[in-house]
Amino acid sequence: MVMETRTRLHPLSSKGLPAYPNGWYALAFTAELPPGSVLTRAFMGQDVVLFRTRSGVVSVIDPYCPHLGAHLGYASTVEGETIRCPFHYFCFDVNGVCVSTGYGTKPPPKAVVRAWPVREQNGLILVWYHAEGRVPDWDVPPLDAGGYSPLVWRAWELNSHPQETTENSVDIGHLSIVHHYDDVQMLSDLTCAGPCLTVRYAMFRPAPFAGLVRGTRSQFTIHVYGLGYSLVEVEIPRFNIQARLFVLPTPIDVERITLRIAVSTRIVRRPREVHPLLGLLPAGLTAPLLNRILPGAVLNGLAHDVQQDFEIWQHKVYFSPPILAEGDGPVGRYRYWAKQFYSDPMPPALE
Ligand code: FES
Ligand SMILES: [Fe+2]
């Protein structure tokens, strides 16, 4: 089923890849859009406007009011279950349909603004992009947030591409060179199932954890859904810590992405399992403190590591085929899997 043909088919990024792969992309975190609020985001070469109705429904719409063209991200307000344009008070529902005018007259039937397919789950507001306007044919699986902390996050704007940043998950070679991880082991072979790719590693991270403890051995299970959403389940057995990391590259335009990372940690009930010394204090005191600082500490570690990639990502190009070597990891299989997210055959890339 085709929703609507978009007009900007397959522009090329300077990386040599089609700029906008099909799939789900994060536009905001749930906590950034409380009921009654409006946000504007740059997405795929245009603005989109997010609003949340008073009852809590999220909508993502094109920015320009079909009446006389005001930008709905500026000076608009949420009125009940609609967004109200500031210019002549036309109101649009979550489907982008004009349901009233500021004059109390009948809304023009053609006064409709495009509403994007949207999902809100796992603390994220995700929007679906498809170059040919197809409706979603897969979803990011919902997670049970029970027993986990609220998300904390960081975001950067980078010259890069979702396929390039996501390729990090399978680029085993760079883990020791760029990130200085030791003893990187693949715990299971990469598996691909439709839009989902899964890979598991164990590694030793010599950098201090939470600014205190030097060196931690961690296990990572990375679930990649499309090129805009990766969930990394981390276990640090030594401290009995489990965390969920989200890595979320979203195209701004043909050259730039917003890279969001977010962390949620499993709530610690028995602090002595994290460190025996914590058992010397009453759990009623240490557990809340630990649960307050842990997500931020894990986020800082992730932010530290992901920033080590930035200079390389921002200046690299995409070679196809690449000249691979033993020790690279399953880069070729990742790239074959990634082809499904492009509507066109892959164009000839830089040789
Ligand atoms: S331009 Fe939006 S109501 Fe007139
Ligand atoms: Fe990396």
Going by DSSP bridges, is the β-strand pair 58-61/77-79 parallel, antiparallel, or unpaired? unpaired
Nearest to 108 by CA among 120, 99, 118: 99
CB of 19 closer than 8 Å to CB of 254: yes
> Where on the phi/psi map is residue 36: left (φ > 0), alpha (ψ -120 to 50), or beta?
left
Q: Which helix (H) or strand (E) holds 247?
A: strand 241-251
Domains recognised in the chain with CATH numbers: 23-129 (2.102.10.10), 152-335 (3.90.380.10)
Q: Per mean pLDDT, which of 92-96, 132-136, 201-205 is the most reliable?
A: 92-96
C-alpha to C-alpha distance for 174 and 318, rounded to whole angstroms: 16
Task: Give residues with Cβ within 8 angstroms of 2, minimum separation 6.
Answer: 132, 133, 134, 135
C-alpha to C-alpha distance for 42 and 253, rounded to whole angstroms: 8
Which residues does ligand 1 sit against, CB inside 6 Å?
A: 65, 67-70, 85, 87-88, 90
**pLDDT 10s digits, 292-330:** 899 999 999 999 999 999 999 999 999 988 999 999 999
**pLDDT 10s digits, 166-186:** 999 999 999 999 999 999 999
Segment among 8-17, 40-49, 237-246 with least mean pLDDT: 8-17
Nearest to 333 by CA among 204, 186, 235: 186
**% of the chain residues with pLDDT over 90:** 76
Q: How confident is the model at residue 3 (pLDDT cuts 50, 70, 90)?
A: very low
Q: How far is the CA of 178 from the centre of ligand 2 (A)?
A: 7
pLDDT reading at 116 higher than 90? yes
pLDDT of residue 10: 58
Q: How confident is the model at residue 211 (pLDDT cuts 50, 70, 90)?
A: low
Q: Is 230 helix (H, G, I), strand (E, B) or coil?
A: strand
Q: How far is the CA of 61 from the centre of ligand 2 (A)?
A: 34
| Cβ atoms within 10 Å, residue 227 | 29
pLDDT reading at 39 higher than 70? yes
Q: What is the pTM of this model?
A: 0.92
**pLDDT 10s digits, 78-113:** 999 999 999 999 999 999 999 999 999 999 999 999
Q: How far is the CA of 108 from the centre of ligand 1 (A)?
A: 12
Q: What residue owns the CA closest to ligand 1's atom 3?
A: 88
Going by DSSP bridges, is the β-strand pair 98-100/213-225 parallel, antiparallel, or unpaired? unpaired
